[in-house]
Amino acid sequence: MRLDKFLKVSRLIRRRTLAKQVADQGRIQVNGQVAKPGTRLVVGDEVKIQFGQTLLTVEIVELKDHVRREEAEQLYRVVQEERTETK
C-alpha cells in the first residue's frame, strides 16, 4: 500500500493530498529513510512523521484499503511521541 493512502486510511493525516504534501516536504521517514508519497509499505515498517513540534513514530500492524473510524487505530501502534522545544 502507498504511504499517502495508508496515512489517510489510518487517519494519521486527514486527506491524501495533505499526506502527499507532508511527504514531499521530507517530513516523513519510513525505516529511517525519507519517504515519498508512493513509497510502498509492508507490515512491520516504522513510520516517523513530523507534525510541527511533535515527532510521531508508529509501527504498521495491518494494511487495509478501507476501515471504519473506530478501527483506524488498529492499523498502527504508537512507538514513540516526542515534543521538540523551540528556542
Say if residues 23 and 36 touch (Cβ distance below 8 Å). Answer: yes
Q: For the residues 75-82, what does the mean pLDDT come to?
A: 96
Q: Which residues sit opposite 30 in a β-bridge? A: 33, 47
Domain 3-83 annotated CATH 3.10.290.10 = yes
Q: What is the pTM of this model?
A: 0.89
Tens of pLDDT, residues 22-57: 999 999 999 999 999 999 999 999 999 999 899 999
Phi, psi at residue 73, to the nearest 5°? -70, -10
Q: Cα–Cα distances in Å, from 52 out to 58, 64, 69, 83, 86? A: 17, 28, 24, 9, 10
